[in-house]
Amino acid sequence: MKIESPRFGTLEVAAERIIEFPRGLIGFENCKRFSLFHPEGEKPSYFILQSLDDAAIAFHIADPAGLGFTYDIVLSDAEAADLAISDSARKVADCAALLAVVVILSKEAPGQPVRANLNGPLVINLDTRRGLQHVFVRLDYNIANA
């Protein structure tokens, strides 16, 4: 499959590289299929999550650990079902080999600092290629000094 991204040009997406978000993302509920890309280089510090349903939608995402942040996420029954994991594997930390947690990065304007959406991390099942946005009602956290 090919997609014409206004920001990144023509992108080739293999069927096995599609990640499905059954409920979409907050504010982008109609975008359910995405693929990951990364900038050229040996080890990227961020990835691009490109919508396949709307070529104009793409997000920069990163591993929160690279920002000095870790999560203790427990999935609801509905979230576990969305990710196609067993009910007994609802604590994300217990499924580290199966589930990836990333955060969406944003920049309000040129010259402004990059911000990470820590309240709405994405959880992706690497085996089934299904994902969701886990939203915290209240998030208590400490960020380690880098």
Q: What is the pLDDT along the chain (146 residues), one digit of tens a residue?
A: 888 888 888 888 989 999 999 999 999 999 999 999 887 766 778 899 999 999 999 999 999 998 888 888 888 889 989 998 876 666 777 777 789 999 999 988 888 888 999 899 999 999 999 999 999 876 555 555 54
Distance CA 32, CA 143 (A): 31
Q: For residue 33, what pLDDT is reported?
A: 97
- In one-letter notation, the amino acid at residue 72 is D
Q: For residue 89, what pLDDT is reported?
A: 64
Considering only the top CATH level, what class is 2-133?
mainly beta
Q: For residue 145, what pLDDT is reported?
A: 54
Per the CB < 8 A criterion, the answer to whether 80 and 57 are in contact is no
Q: For residue 138, what pLDDT is reported?
A: 66
